Structure 1
């Protein structure tokens, strides 16, 4: 109402009869009239109720026209279906992962741009601002950056997707969000690992006795090439780092709990020597948790595992095995004689390796392939790659890698029972050769600290982009993708380098400088963290109850 206008009353009310209606009574009557007028006026406007749980929606880049004001309420869980039925949030599915583009629900996806690692933005860190708005205060639900997730219903989620493929018909979908019957759940800042990307983080100094998982030199099952401590590496700082995700804390690998979940089961690593690196690490971690260490042994009594083949460690008290199958390509290496009688070696991109019979009955499978695709023969691709009776005169290595992965994916879909076996793919482990490649003088022996400046990290491997595409668009079987490329890229200090053996002479030491190993990892070391993340990934995926 316009306060400059006076409300006129009958003269008789303002006359000398004030003994009938006192000043006090006049005030009450005027107030009643004013409230009546306000009530009639406001009824003609539609004032919607805005849910306080949508605070911060603007910073999530949802491109919605709804504006939401900040409120002070801190509800734990509020069902949105009754509060804001008109707010439309785009549906995010597999394509929104790892830099893919396109409208929600579209099947026309593209791979991540070159140089971008999936699941996170290198420049984004907890505590930074996003779109000029700060991160949510404790107890307030917000989508402030790509590590927070807003759930609107059981099928719509907004936020960063984890490196997991959930058991939803094999679709590559986010599984890191928290949902309770279609409700929004409060952001758990630095809380549950279930709600954050565990591969987005940094290495921090372990300021206690929690690292390493087993004392250097204590595990008899580490290959000589990985046993840097026994080979005379003078520093030990490389075993005193732990991985810290940006958005949450993760549990340590509990060896006895892992073994209990493996009771009566078979876990198999399949791949190249980097997976053997990881396999030996897990065997040592689990062994260290046992009181009677004589109750774990390699079933054939072997202590050297470099030769291609099948190796199995049996944990007697748990009736389980942790195995390794050497299959660096997944697909079959072959040979034949040409018309001149010359033996030609080929790689059959359309046929799986003969080792599949050794692991098709496993309960947990951890696959990897990548490093052997960098060798001269595979990189050159001349008269080497074969499909059917055709040997390609020349085929690019990335295309060959994709075709091999498709063969692997089809085999998994056809032969692996998703109700019995959990499939994991460990991503590419970054190398750190300076001054040349692995076979011509590349070095890393003077590295004693991780990389701290993310600008010096390598581009996201193109092979892993191809893998993600196949996991997302080709496979039906759910797969857990362990995206360890970035976290290993930090660790230029963790390789065996020149400490692959004990040198007897100064000449051997000098020669070792030109033949360094900057691909594999010292044990204890970085692969111990991979196994911690394997453990957490399985828990995060909700598979623990099925082990």
Structure 2
């Protein structure tokens, strides 16, 4: 009876059940065939069928945080003059784990180490900091090379299936120098260096010519800077001169920029068949005194100049009650500006003179208008000076003609004291290889993070602080002159130069990076 009832109850659904079971059986068979096909697939790294499942999930997660695995493709870096941030709600902080990046070859993003920030707009791919400052790649240096206001980095982001991660990551890890932070990397051995033979360039300051001064080793010239995630081109001197034809390149700053200027002259000179057609226009061969020096390259009708201006702002005097005394006008540019305001490329620097006793104490030295500060902290004074520089740039530079660079602070390596108290580096014969042994981002360079983003003129910041920090082996140390006796050499150990660089040497790489930066962001002929 119960059985009949059950049958009677189920009878209205029997035909439908048979249809369901029949469909279910077909589904099971199809699934088995599908699984069989998967096992027969010879390549599990790039499963073609997996894309079917990812397409929908990707379309539903356009504004979600990045998750591993992923890759960035079709990346492009484009300095823009205006940033449109209308939808601020779409900007979100990118929290990246080290594990999440281990297969992308983008380098380590140590976001907090130098107070760097990394933000992304998923809608259009712009990478900017809150001030509109472009940040490219790894920020171990406290920022990337482009720090001009209203710049941005446009990146097309594409999430891919796990099977294609390895394929795409090769593209991410090996893209060219136009799409990475060229100032973040490491030094690698390169026996093809240097650009010009040791002791061959007559325009190298004798204080920088370590080889002629008896330095016994030569490994310090056999290192190449290798950015993380890309390669940079070697400095093609012929191409550089061709692009500089009829133009002026000017280095403005202290003796570290003179170091860089002499390096550039020697690199370019090496490519000239008749080197007599390269000369300093006034015939001078010593360049230590304050002044303006210009090397003319006759075959290209161009010049590479150096303007000595260690503070960039004006050194002056003030008449007080007890007589006149030296001051530094934080509100006025140095009077040499008339010699370079119309140059085609200008590379500025200032920093090392702000560490000397007179400036660091800041007592009755810094002046603005008719006011001399009884005491002013050096970092405050440095920021005021940079603000004056930035204002002058904005008011006097033709952005359609002139490309402006600011080269960052070159790290010193005095051990056991400072430059005037027995600091040494003469026993260093190889670079630092571990980043953990490097110092923090120089505090003075943080002033640039405050000043440059407010400028209307695009400025390329050459952040060479970290790359120079590795190179404790590259300084002249005791090899600043040729010693006649061992006693002279021993005495020299008490007054070493662990600030400037041997030539050939590290400044050659600064110029290599200058060349790469011009190819990336330069105006006019540099774009071709």
Instruction: Specify the TM-score bucket, using the shorter chain as the normaliser.
Output: 0.7 to 0.9
Question: How far did 1:522 drift?
Answer: 0.2
Partner of 2:163: none
Pair 1:373-2:357 in alignment: no
The 5 Å alignment of 1:88-487 reads 90-91=90-91, 130-136=97-103, 152-154=122-124, 156-157=126-127, 161-162=135-136, 163-165=144-146, 170-171=148-149, 173-175=151-153, 177-178=154-155, 187-206=171-190, 208-209=191-192, 211-340=193-322, 342-472=323-453, 474-487=454-467
Distance 1:143 1:324 in 2: 36
The answer to whether the Cα contact below 8 Å between 1:151 and 1:183 also exists between their aligned partners in 2 is no
Question: How far did 1:200 drift?
Answer: 1.1
The answer to whether the Cα contact below 8 Å between 1:143 and 1:150 also exists between their aligned partners in 2 is no
Question: How far did 1:343 drift?
Answer: 2.7
Question: How far did 1:455 drift?
Answer: 2.4
What secondary structure sits across from 1:264 in the alignment?
coil
Question: How far did 1:325 drift?
Answer: 0.1
The answer to whether the Cα contact below 8 Å between 1:274 and 1:520 also exists between their aligned partners in 2 is yes
The answer to whether the Cα contact below 8 Å between 1:136 and 1:144 also exists between their aligned partners in 2 is no
Relative to total residues, which structure has the larger helix share, 1 or 2?
Answer: 2
Deviations 1:72-126 (A, max 9, x none): xx99669xxxxxxxx998437xxxxxxxxxx79xxxxxxxxxxxxxxxx9xxxxx
Question: How far did 1:319 drift?
Answer: 1.1
Distance 1:249 1:324 in 2: 29
Deviations 1:310-335 (A, max 9, x none): 00011111111110000001111111
What secondary structure sits across from 1:226 in the alignment?
coil
Distance 2:236 2:472 in 1: 27
The answer to whether the Cα contact below 8 Å between 2:210 and 2:480 also exists between their aligned partners in 1 is yes
Question: How far did 1:482 drift?
Answer: 0.4
Partner of 1:505: 485
Deviations 1:190-234 (A, max 9, x none): 22112211111111111x42x111110111100000000011100
Distance 2:107 2:481 in 1: 51
What secondary structure sits across from 1:336 in the alignment?
strand
Query: Gaps (5+ residues) in structure 2?
Result: 1-6, 28-53, 76-86, 112-117, 137-143, 161-167
The answer to whether the Cα contact below 8 Å between 2:91 and 2:120 also exists between their aligned partners in 1 is no
Q: 1:143 to 1:183 in 2, by over 3 A?
A: farther
What secondary structure sits across from 2:327 in the alignment?
strand
Question: How far did 1:349 drift?
Answer: 0.6
What secondary structure sits across from 1:407 in the alignment?
helix
